[in-house]
């Protein structure tokens, strides 16, 4: 493989290690005998730990944005949440099998690999696939970083509105960006140990407080819950946000590559998505029936005051802080790799990462509504990485033939299902991307922060 490769930091270096079990040792003996593809490591991620990283990477922004998306898409939005959760989960398992195929056919890749998703694309369709995946991953993670900054700024403004009433949302955005820049200089996520566990814990606690507050307000309210008809533009913007909420596939191969037993990644995906659905559904259902059209793009802003809201804001702010460091780090490392920046801490690392945050500030200040960025990224790059390419690459790899390879045959019903996911992803993603672009450049859209 030629050309620049994205430099993904190994998750096994994030300070989370597990030791293989006796069953793992038995399987390792089979590997040494050449019976099972893919090595087992003495240290790495276990099934539960990998599931925790999946939840920690995906759940935060989805919890906040999904309720409004469900309201804007009508009752069918509740169905779409479940439907795309199942489809995204299935695509994640296909990516896992893709990597198993790569290890089975190409023993040189059975060690630690930092760019597994682009490598899957390379072997499935060639160089154009690797380039496409690399670009999509970088855009997705950059866009997610902007979204996290915007959400964190909203939450901080809501937390401190009584203390600093004259500081607006745009100013908090810049303040938060300045505060989060120095931790980015530390290097890689291994420098912020246990960040995956803390990201999940803070998300779960925030969801509990949000749900309790919604139910409390629903019991106390006697007002009619409005549900006005929505147009096609609103529906497809909501569609893009729903897609974004399940868009974690860009890092799935990296998580799998750091597992002790990579063949167990499918179990981690199932566990992770089960937890994510348990977080998403209660809040989405509750906000739909309690707030209706009064639901804000950030569900926390729909809630009243009280200790539950304070705790929800605090835990979600902590989650977004940690999630930002996780999501943006691969982009930083890739840029540093392109410019040959030394791996050790130094001036050039600080310059590169500071400039990256500055670019995010420019984008965030230009489009100060995170829901539009969610819809844009969700309808474009996330749709490709999560719903289209995993299934397409899996079919291409299975259809490849060689006398030395194990023959893989895809059942007809599975192939039909994958093409259904691909076609719905492409058509729905295109409509969501168009709607997001129209909203961003429409005269009705909010002015950039620097034009107020």
pLDDT above 60 (res 24): no
Among 193, 109, 180, CA closest to 149: 180
Distance spanning both ends of the chain, measured CA to CA: 49
Asked if residue 57 belongs to a domain, the reply is yes
**What pLDDT digit, counting tens, does each position of 348-360 carry?**
888 888 888 888 8
Q: Containing domain of residue 242, as a range?
A: 11-22+37-400+407-451
pLDDT at 447: 60
Is the model's pLDDT at 54 over the cut of 70?
Answer: yes
pTM for this one?
Answer: 0.79
CB-based contact 155:317 (threshold 8 Å):
yes
Residues facing 19 on adjacent strands: 43
CATH of residue 159's domain is 1.20.1740.10
With respect to residue 424, please indicate whether it lies within any of the assigned structural domains. Answer: yes
- Going by pLDDT thresholds of 50, 70 and 90, the confidence category of residue 192 is low
Interatomic CA distance for residues 65 and 54, integer angstroms: 18
* Number of structural domains found in the chain: 1
pLDDT at 98: 92
pLDDT of residue 444: 52
**Domain assignment present for 396:** yes
Whether 403 has a pLDDT exceeding 50, the answer reads yes
In a domain, 124, yes or no: yes
Residue 101 lies in a domain: yes
Tell me the mean pLDDT in the region 321-328. Answer: 78
Q: How far apart are CA 45 and CA 79, in angstroms?
A: 33
**SS3 at position 368:** coil
> Considering only 8-22, 82-96, 301-315, 396-410, which range has the smallest mean pLDDT?
8-22
> Has residue 423 been placed in a domain?
yes
> How confident is residue 22, by pLDDT bands cut at 50, 70 and 90?
very low
Is 69 contained in some domain? yes
Average pLDDT over residues 44-61: 80
- The predicted pLDDT at position 17 comes to 39
Is residue 31 included in any domain, yes or no? no
Least confident of 100-114, 182-196, 389-403: 182-196
pLDDT in tens, 94-115: 999 998 899 888 888 777 666 7
Mean pLDDT computed over every residue of the chain: 79
């Amino acid at each position: 493989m030629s050309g620049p490769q994205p430099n993904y930091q190994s998750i096994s270096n994030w300070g989370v290690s597990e030791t293989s079990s006796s069953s793992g040792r038995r399987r390792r003996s089979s590997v040494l005998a050449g019976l099972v593809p893919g090595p087992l490591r003495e240290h790495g991620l276990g099934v539960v730990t990998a599931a925790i990283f999946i939840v920690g990477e995906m759940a935060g922004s989805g919890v906040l944005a999904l309720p409004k998306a469900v309201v804007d898409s009508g009752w069918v939005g509740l169905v779409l949440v479940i439907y795309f959760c199942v489809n995204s989960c299935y695509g994640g398992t296909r990516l896992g099998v893709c990597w198993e195929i790569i290890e089975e056919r190409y023993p040189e890749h059975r060690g630690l690999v930092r760019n597994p998703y682009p490598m899957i694309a390379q072997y499935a369709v060639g160089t154009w696939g690797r380039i496409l995946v690399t670009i999509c991953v970088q855009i997705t993670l950059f866009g997610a970083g902007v979204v996290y900054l915007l959400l964190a700024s909203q939450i901080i403004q809501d937390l401190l509105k009584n203390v600093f009433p004259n500081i607006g949302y745009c100013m908090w955005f810049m303040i938060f960006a300045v505060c989060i820049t120095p931790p980015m200089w530390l290097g890689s996520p291994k420098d912020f140990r246990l960040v995956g566990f803390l990201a999940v814990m803070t998300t779960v606690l925030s969801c509990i407080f949000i749900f309790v507050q919604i139910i409390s307000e629903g019991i106390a309210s006697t007002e009619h819950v409005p549900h006005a008809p929505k147009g096609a533009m609103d529906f497809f913007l909501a569609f893009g946000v729903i897609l974004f909420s399940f868009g974690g596939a860009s890092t799935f191969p990296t998580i799998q590559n750091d597992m002790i037993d990579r063949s167990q990644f499918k179990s981690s995906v199932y566990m992770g998505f089960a937890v994510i659905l348990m977080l998403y559904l209660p809040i989405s259902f509750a906000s739909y029936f309690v707030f209706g059209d009064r639901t804000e793009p950030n569900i926390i802003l729909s809630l009243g005051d009280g200790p539950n809201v304070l705790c929800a804001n605090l835990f979600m702010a902590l989650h977004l802080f940690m999630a930002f460091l996780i999501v943006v780090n691969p982009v930083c490392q890739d840029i540093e790799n392109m410019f040959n920046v030394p791996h050790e801490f130094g001036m050039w690392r600080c310059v590169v990462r500071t400039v990256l945050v500055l670019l995010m500030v420019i984008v965030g200040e230009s489009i100060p509504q995170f829901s539009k960025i969610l819809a844009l990224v969700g309808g474009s790059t996330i749709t490709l990485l999560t719903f289209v390419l995993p299934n397409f690459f899996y079919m291409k790899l299975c259809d490849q033939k060689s006398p030395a390879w194990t023959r893989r045959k895809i059942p007809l019903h599975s192939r039909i299902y994958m093409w259904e996911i691909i076609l719905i992803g492409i058509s729905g993603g295109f409509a969501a991307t168009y709607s997001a672009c129209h909203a961003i450049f429409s005269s009705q859209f909010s002015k950039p922060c620097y034009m107020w």
